[in-house]
Amino acid sequence: MDETNRKHLLDLDVAGITYTVYEDDLHQLGGYGELGYCDYMTQTIVVQYDVPMQRKAQTIIHELLHAMFLETGYDEHDEDMINRLGITLTPIVLGGELEKIREFANKDEESAGE
């Protein structure tokens, strides 16, 4: 896959900046061993196309954390910290825990209007 053959996966809002997530063949692009990267200048996240879906999702979350840190003013990111946060955040996101928080917050707003 060259850049023109990238597959668009989704768009993510990070502090008002849209990051576009693609999958591509990072090995062909010279990124042997890489599962993904975040390009702040173009607001893109690219993940390896031929990995299992759960690994791809975990990589998107990892790269999203890099984008979040940059957009909130942290130019230097400790890779070990990003790895640990990504591993911890993945089951929260994939397991629906954020939806539980959203439902809780909406329930509170609905009951406040009664």
Range of the structural domain that residue 19 is part of: 3-112
What's the mean pLDDT in 88-106?
92
Helices vs. strands in the chain: H and E counts, helices first: 3, 4
| Domains identified in the chain, total number | 1
pTM to 2 decimal places: 0.84
* All residues at 6 or more sequence positions from 65 whose CB lies less than 8 Å from its CB, including other chains: 77, 82, 85, 86, 89
Q: Give per-residue pLDDT as tens, 29-39.
A: 676 668 999 99
Residue 1 has pLDDT above 50, yes or no: no
Mean pLDDT, the chain, as a whole number?
Answer: 89
Q: Give per-residue pLDDT as tens, 49-86.
A: 999 999 999 999 999 999 999 999 998 889 999 999 99
Q: Say if CB 40 and CB 73 are below 8 A apart.
A: no
- Residue 45: CATH number of its domain: 3.30.2010
